[in-house]
Each structure stands twice: as structure tokens, then as C-alpha cells.
Amino acid sequence: MSTESTTRTAQDQSQDPSNDQSGHTPASAFNIDTVEHAAATPETELPWAELGLKEDEYSRIREILGRRPTAAELAMYSVMWSEHCSYKSSKVHLRQFGDKVTEEMTKDLMVGIGENAGVTNLGDGWAVTFKIESHNHPSYVEPYQGAATGIGGIVRDIISMGARPVAVMDPLRFGDIDHPDTKRVLPGVVSGIGGYGNSLGLPNIGGEVVFDSVYQQNPLVNALAVGVMRHEDIRLANASGVGNKVVLFGARTGGDGIGGASVLASESFDDTKPSKRPAVQVGDPFSEKVLIECCLELFHAELVEGIQDLGAAGISCATSELASNGEGGMHVELTDVLLRDPSLTPGEILMSESQERMMAVVTPANAEAFEKVMAKWGVEYSWLGEVTDTGRLIIEWDGETIVDVTRAPWPTTAPSTSARTTAPPGRTSCRPTPSAPPRRGRTCPPPGSSCARPWLS
């Protein structure tokens, strides 16, 4: 990205950031790459490869937009099309869950694939919702926080469905039991899951563990959360109702989990800003506990039309998902986001994975009641924009458009890729054969995999 050509000069340089309630650096401190500017400078090079996109993916983005993406749009596409969000290499396998389902299997299914969590009928007006998600890489880098925030994410999915979370579980896979790195990773993972869950009052009611060298440097840290609700309490994420307001609430947005966005630091003039940011998010279970109660109260009083938690890809993902599930579009002013690091650039704000945040759609009539609930629980919030009938997701920075995309569901537009598969030594296939049940691990479980394990806690 060319620095000179993207400079915005019309801002008041004397603006004092401390007067800005949201804690933002004055917009003049950034190069704001607007949609208008992007259309006028088609040849500007963007760091798409550094953001993990492949050449054909970048071409596809240009094709979809009919121009080059802005820096903020590139940031959004890079996270929305990452494996983490779009499952582009695993969706060929995951598709089987849709293809192989029979009527018998779904007779008690109330909410299926595509929402934040699945819901199953329990009878007598009760329903249970489950969510399981892996947090493998963060847990390998920083075991305690990686695993803890894995719990945080799935618990917010459970809340999003309208349920009260009641328990967690953790199926885990680690490298060789004697390997020193296993000793580094395991205690943090186990205490991270237990510690975060316990702070929310959620017991860890079960799990499993397998040690095998195939998981060396790539532990599988799966966390499952269970929630319980009445049928009438089920909520789905969508931003319907033109004119309804979009609100972000919970923790402030910081520099967590935007390691990948650091290449966009060229957005900033200021070389002194903290450009090396933690790639792993840090959890605050107390904020999460307050969010649980606050959201359940909002649902109970029927104050929100749609709700979405912020996890991977943060505001990018939440706005896209809310907009793509609804019937209209969405218009958001990004400078209204409350920050805990005022030096964040627009791209970083869109990508930030700061924990314990939720986004909701509220009718103007309910706005005041919504604010009362926030005040009761001491939760910070900011109104970011509104639902529109344009069919587009438009994000502005101080009034200038920096993102303008159709509301088509982003992750599903990601091109599929096929991952290379290799059977580990001692196994003949990566996939179960149709005639044999799936084999887990070796025929003989590796040492430490089948014994009493109170020592894990």
C-alpha cells in the first residue's frame, strides 16, 4: 500500500484524543484507505499474501468487488476466508454431516447447522444446546489463555442461542506423554479450561485424553459447552428490521489476537505504536459471567431482535453474520467502537479478537430499556449503526466508507482447497473405511491414554 497516495489530510490535527470518549486516536493519525480511493487506485499493492490469502483468492476478491479491496476489506476477507472461519479445507469433510443425516437423526433437532449452536428437544418444553469447538493453535502457543478463551467462545455461542450455560467438557489430544513440550502444554490447557469454566460456575463434567506423537506441536484442544433453555427462549442471530440499531457491548476492543493484522501496520504513520501484538487472546471470566446474566436478562425482557457473539475475526465476523442472516444490510460507524488501545487502526479493530464482547440488534423503541440493563450490570456498550435495506454491509470510519460489500454470507463464498493428507506411521489410512468402525489411535492405546487420570487436574 502506497503511503503517500492514501494519506488523509483534511483532519484537524489539534484534536485531543483524550477528549474522545471512545478512546480513538484522531483519524488523521491513520492512512484511511476508502472505497473511493481503492476504486481510483486499482494498481496499489496490498499485502494479501502476508495476510494468508492465496493469489487465486485475492483475484476472487477483486472479482467479487469489481475493484481492489480497501485495506479494511482485505483484513476482513483474510480472516473470514481463513481456515478458522470458513473451514475451506475441511468443509468437504464437514459436509457429510449435512449429507448423511436421516429423518430419524433429526426428529428432535430444533436448530441445526448454520446457527451459533445446535438445539435438541428434551421434551416437556425443555431444550438443550451444545457447542464444541477446537482452540488448538492458541492453546499450543499459550496453553492457559488459549484453552480458557476456547471456553469463553463456546459459552458465548450458548448464550447467543438464549440458553443458560450449565457445564463444559474437554476431549483433548496431546503429543507423546514423555515429551517435554507435552509437559509445557498440558497443565496450562487443563487449568485454563477448568479455571475459566469454574469462574462462570460451569463444572467440567467429563472429557477424554489421548497421547500420541502425531499431536506433537499440534495438540487438539476441543471444548464443549452445554446450555439449557425453554423452547420459547430459543434465539437466532439475524439483523432483521430496517432502522433497528446495532450495538456492541461487553469488554472494550483491544489488540488481542490480531497478530496477523500486523502487516497492516503500514496503515499507521506512527512507528512507535505497539505493532507486535499478542496473537493469543486473553480471557476475563468475570466479564463473561456478567455478559451471561446481562444477555439472559435482555432475552427475558425481549429487548433484542438478534444477537451474535464476537469470536474469531471479531467485528468483521459479527457484522457479516448478523447481516447475512437477516434480510437487509447493515451500516456501521467504526469510530464508535470503544477501545482499550487507542492506537488501533480500522483494520485492526475489525480483526481484533478481544474476548467477552457481543453484538446485538435492538429496535429504537427498546434502546432505553437496553441501556438500563447495561447500567444494572455495569457493562459498557456503544451504538455502532443500524440495519438498512441496501443489502450491503457498509462500514465507515469517521463518515468515510472503508468497507462496502454485499451481505452475501462471506465464509460460504470462500474457495475450497483440498488439504494434503498423510497417514501417520503405523496406520493405513486417515479415513475410516466404510466397512470398519473408525479406529481411534492405535489398536493398543498409547501409554497414559487409558488409565485413571486425576493427576491431570
Partner 1 sequence: MTETPLIGEYSSSPDGTALDGARIGVVTFPGTLDDRDAARAVRLGGGTAVPLWHADDTLSDVDAVVIPGGFSYGDYLRAGAISRFAPLMSRITEAATADSGSPLPVLGICNGFQILTEAHLLPGSMIKNDHLKFRCADQVLRVENTSTAWTSQFTQDELITVPLKNQDGQYVADEDTLTRLEGEGLVAFRYVGSNPNGSRHDIAGVTNARGNVVGLMPHPEHAVEAGYGSDDSTGMRNGTDGLTVFTSIISSLAGSHSEGGAL
Write out the residues near partner 1 by the rule CB under 8 A: 163-164, 194-195, 198-201, 203, 228-230, 233, 284-287, 289-290, 293, 296-297, 299-300, 376-378, 457
Q: To the nearest whole angstrom, how small is the minimum distance from the Cβ of residue 378 to partner 1?
A: 6
Q: To the nearest whole angstrom, how small is the minimum distance from the Cβ of residue 201 to partner 1?
A: 3
The residue annotated as part of the active site, out of 24, 37, 84, 331, is: 84
Would you state the torsion angle of the CA atoms of residues 59, 61, 67, 69, taken in this order, to the nearest 10 degrees? -120
For 157, which DSSP code? H
For 113, which DSSP code? B
| Residue whose CB is less far from partner 1, 51 or 298 | 298
| Residue whose CB is less far from partner 1, 164 or 392 | 164
Alpha carbon distances (Å) from 208 to 52, 201, 249, 272, 450: 33, 21, 35, 46, 9
Q: To the nearest whole angstrom, how small is the minimum distance from the Cβ of residue 10 to partner 1?
A: 44
C-alpha cell read off for 306: 438478534
Q: To the nearest whole angstrom, how small is the minimum distance from the Cβ of residue 292 to partner 1?
A: 10
> Is residue 331 flagged as an active site residue?
no
| Residue whose CB is less far from partner 1, 98 or 203 | 203
Q: To the nearest whole angstrom, how small is the minimum distance from the Cβ of residue 260 to partner 1?
A: 29
CA-wise closest residue to 332 among 313, 318, 353:
318
Residue 219 three-state SS: coil
- Dihedral sign, CA of 109, 113, 119, 120? positive
* CB-CB contact of 136 with 221 (8 Å): yes
Q: What is the C-alpha to C-alpha distance for residues 93 and 103, in angstroms, rounded to an integer?
A: 21
> Is residue 179 flagged as an active site residue?
no
C-alpha cell read off for 280: 493469543
| Residue whose CB is less far from partner 1, 214 or 296 | 296
How many CB atoms are located within 10 Å of the residue 272 CB?
Answer: 7
Q: To the nearest whole angstrom, how small is the minimum distance from the Cβ of residue 21 to partner 1?
A: 23
Residue 314 three-state SS: helix
| Residue whose CB is less far from partner 1, 60 or 231 | 231
The residue annotated as part of the active site, out of 24, 37, 93, 135, is: 135
| Residue whose CB is less far from partner 1, 77 or 299 | 299
Q: To the nearest whole angstrom, how small is the minimum distance from the Cβ of residue 290 to partner 1?
A: 5
Residue 427 three-state SS: coil
| Residue whose CB is less far from partner 1, 268 or 287 | 287
Residue count (the chain):
457
| Residue whose CB is less far from partner 1, 208 or 293 | 293
Q: To the nearest whole angstrom, how small is the minimum distance from the Cβ of residue 284 to partner 1?
A: 7
Would you name the residues annotated as active-site residues?
84, 135
